[in-house]
Amino acid sequence: MDATFYIVMVLAVMLVGFGKGGMGDVLGLLGVPILTFVMPSVQAAAILLPILIVMDVIALWTWRAHWHRQTLLTVLPGALIGIAIGWTTFYIVPDYVMRLLIGIVALSFTARFFYNRYLAGNIEHPPRPNEPVRATIWGTLSGYGSFIAHAGGAPYQVYALPLQLSPKEYTGTAVRFFAIVNALKLPPYYMLGLLSAGNLQTSALLFPVALLATLAGAAVVKRMRMEVFYPWMYGMLMLAGLKLSWDGVRALAAVLG
């Protein structure tokens, strides 16, 4: 493996780590696409999973005092459904279909937020309560997107952002949610033959980068005020929607062309 391979790997893991620390899912979304410059996408997802779990352990410790129990318990059942669907359809359903659908929804959702905030006189909406039906729908999409491409953040944000939790509660809850989701992905990934010795060795080499990047992301978020945090997170969701939509459209055009 040449120097380019390791430079690309370090860059991808750094961006994912910043996202895991709480700076936004769009950074995490860049991990697999960046890695595809030097390896197949399936291998990229396999190498990233152990790294994500190491990041989860660090993030759980960092945000151990902050989370919202009801939100976590409400959205988790749907995630379990999504993981099961992802497992059974991993080699059947193209991941670009899910990326395109999630991207369109994320863009519509953020467009509404920015319109209300900056173009319609700063319309304020009261916090939404936790709703089991909505939580199951978005949790399922999040679990599925996470399983097939580590891209479950946008559906989770669509559900969780309108709850208007404090920045620390929001981040701590998201950290716990994805830590559980990623841990549950390990057995299916192993049974699908994705966790080979070579992939695990590559993952292990990048654990120190994962540690430093996750701590750095958390340090930034802990210093954000609420009026800064939510526009930032909606901005990250918008970028995630653009990235997912672009990936989906480009792959669909290749198939149709």
CA gap 251, 246 in Å, rounded: 8
Euclidean distance between CA atoms 128 and 141, whole angstroms: 20
Q: What's the pTM value of the predicted model, to 2 decimals?
A: 0.78
Helix, strand, coil % over all residues of the chain, rounded to 5? 80, 0, 20
User: Would you list the DSSP string of 85-142?
Assistant: HHHHTTTTS-HHHHHHHHHHHHHHHHHHHHIIIIISS----PPPPP-HHHHHHHHHHH
Q: What is the mean pLDDT of the chain?
A: 84
Confidence of residue 23 (pLDDT cuts 50, 70, 90): low
More confident residue, 104 or 129: 129
Q: Which of 38-52, 70-84, 117-131 has the lowest mean pLDDT?
A: 117-131
End-to-end CA distance of the chain: 34
Range 44-68 average pLDDT: 89
pLDDT, one tens digit per residue, over 134-154 is 999 999 999 998 888 777 887
Kindly report the number of other CB atoms within 10 A of residue 233's CB atom: 26
**Within the chain, what is the greatest distance between any pair of CA atoms?**
56
Q: Give the mean model confidence (pLDDT) for residues 231-243.
A: 77
